[in-house]
Amino acid sequence: MEYVKFGNTGLDVSRICLGAMGFGDPEKWIHKWVLDEEKSRPVIKKAIDLGINFFDTANIYSMGESERILGKALKDYANRDDIVLATKVHQTMRPNRPNGGGLSRKVIMSEIDHSLERLETDYVDLYIIHRWDYDTPIEETMEALHDVVKSGKARYIGASAMYAWQFQKAQRVAERNGWTKFVSMQNHYNLIYREEEREMIPFCQDEKIAITPYSPLASGRLTRDWSQTTFRSETDTVQQSKYDTMMESDYGIVKRLGEVAKNRHTTKDKVALAWLLNQDQVVAPIIGAQKESHIESSVAALDIKLAPMEMHYLEELYIPHPVVGALSNPKSNY
């Protein structure tokens, strides 16, 4: 395993982060393909055994069940001081109830305590706002996050999927008031979705902000032949909304991905991850894993160093895509 500094901090993280959205209870959330606790624990243990020290979850994943499963497994399998643990806040945890979600001071202060209880820990290393809150002043959000850090309940704060102007505004508000600034951006970025290269990634490079892309394998679309389906691909409506509309233009990119993988006598998922790991400021792609072999394959991608010609060949066919991830609809819950 390789370890790097987390952006402009002294924190050391593994170059692969295990995301825990796939661990939980299919009856508690929109994703019916998630693994229950019994099936999740071997995957988490495999990640630890292979040197992964960076784990990411969110309060909304299976309505807290993901945090509970991950926290219990990490407590059983690892030393807390060796683990870098991240969770997120924003999405609606109590539907149709006032203060059930968002980034108000009340919600943040309540949800950090709920998350810590489920994770069975006194603190998280990274507390991430899951999306932008259009209904709360950013000053209120940033001050509340600063107070969470100063209380010792979080070591650092990060942000996820939003527009670059929003991220810049939040950073400047924190800077002007002497509050804690974001040290990371968890954004939607992979070989068939590269809109973040226009504004967000250049900003993060300039500010030395760590980038931890989610959906690095495009929910499995960069791992297999498109004629093949899985239970997830058949039931994951979020995946379909993210990638179905551009399938025709993306097909050529995925075909080239297969060619590069074949020439290197390896698999498409490894090459797709290697492409991400070759990008400046990408610290640790957040991988999802349903099997121990998925973890092994992701770690093996660290050994693949793509040549500039291969990088260009994979990138050449990309055309602009509709923005996916940042919420233009403030009422969306994903």
Distance CA 72, CA 81 (A): 15
Contact between 20 and 50 under an 8 Å Cβ cutoff? The reply is no
64: left (phi > 0), else alpha (psi -120 to 50), else beta?
left
Strands 154-160 and 17-19: unpaired
- Report how far apart, in Å, the C-alpha atoms of 14 and of each of 2, 6, 84, 122, 208 are: 6, 9, 9, 22, 18
Per-residue b or e along 18-42, where b marks 16 or more CB atoms closer than 10 Å to that residue's CB? bbbbbbbbeeebebeebbebeebbe
* Active-site annotation, residues: 61
How far from the centroid of its chain's Cα atoms is residue 51's Cα?
A: 19
SS (H, E, C) 82-127: HCEEEEEECCCCCCCCCCCCCCCHHHHHHHHHHHHHHHCCCCEEEE
Q: Please return the burial class of 308, using the count of CB atoms within 10 Å of its CB with bins 0-12, 13-18 and 19+.
A: exposed
Point out which residues pair with 211 in neighbouring strands: 185, 282
The token pair at 177 is 């008031």
- Sheet of 84-89: strand order equals 210-211, 182-186, 154-160, 124-129, 84-89, 54-56, 17-19, 286-287
Task: Please provide residue 93's backbone torsions phi and psi, each rounded to the nearest 5 degrees.
Answer: -95, -25
Distance CA 120, CA 10 (A): 25
What is the DSSP code (8-state) at residue 9?
S
The token pair at 149 is 């850090």
